[in-house]
Amino acid sequence: MASYLQDHLCPQLIGRDAHRIEDIWQFFYKGAYWRRGPVTMSAISAVDMALWDIKAKAANMPLYQLLGGASREGVMVYCHTTGHSIDEALDDYARHQELGFKAIRVQCGIPGMKTTYGMSKGKGLAYEPATKGQWPEEQLWSTEKYLDFMPKLFDAVRNKFGFDEHLLHDMHHRLTPIEAARFGKSIEDYRMFWMEDPTPAENQECFRLIRQHTVTPIAVGEVFNSILGLQTTD
């Protein structure tokens, strides 16, 4: 991305009016032959944020004031808890609960599977998917074991900690629509805040089918690079 910025975008910013934010965005977006990729859109986004910062500084006010003013005093954030067993996950959950988090994502190792994506690299360490480590091998994944085990994790969390916190879980695009619908239905009693990325995000029709079979909310979108092409599931 740094190369794309330095070699392609920044030279074309010289001499342009920094206040014409939308015009510059459209110029860079429509001027790129290969559109919507993560490198292109991340670079354009970096320029876009910088231009809004310039506009706010020129107006001598915080950007949120320039965009209409504050509408809330804070926002809820969530944390990641993991464990190679349910007991480890519960310990990590308790640690984050004590820190005051009201929304907690839970992931856990699955018995019979050597590795599971989405785990931290050690006890007390933050989860970070970009760090080096051992990744799950394709032949090790078992959808059946996953679907059978994960409700047990949520049951253990709710039995020990109750329903005071929002409970989240990331599925990492691994299921089919039918599997995801069945999974969402099976965990409704645990009142999940969301199940994230149940199916490959590029097939957005999947979400419509899932929503027809479960009231468990779906979270999706982190792999999209633009609002263009997104569809509603209503």
Residue tagged active-site, from 84, 166, 172, 213: 172
- Over residues 131-178, the pLDDT tens digits come to 555 555 565 778 999 999 999 999 999 999 999 999 999 999 999 999
Do 196 and 141 have their domain in common? yes
> What single string gives the DSSP state of each residue in 74-113?
-----EEE--SSHHHHHHHHHHHHHTT-SEEEE----TT-
Q: Has 117 been annotated as catalytic? A: yes
Do 118 and 155 have their domain in common? yes
Domain that holds residue 170: 79-219
Rounded Cα gap, residues 84 and 48, in angstroms: 41
227 Rama class: left (phi>0) / alpha (psi -120 to 50) / beta: alpha
Do 61 and 97 have their domain in common? no
Do 131 and 166 have their domain in common? yes
pLDDT by residue, tens only, the chain of 234 residues: 899 899 889 999 999 999 999 999 999 998 877 777 888 999 999 999 999 999 999 999 999 999 999 999 999 999 999 999 999 999 999 999 999 999 999 999 998 776 666 555 555 555 555 555 555 556 577 899 999 999 999 999 999 999 999 999 999 999 999 999 999 999 999 999 999 999 998 888 899 999 999 999 999 988 888 877 676 666
Question: For the chain, what is the domain count?
Answer: 2
Q: The CATH number of the domain where 45 resides is what?
A: 3.30.390.10
pTM of the model: 0.82
Q: Cα–Cα distances in Å, from 129 out to 116, 143, 205, 215, 233?
A: 11, 21, 27, 29, 29
Q: Has 96 been annotated as catalytic? A: no
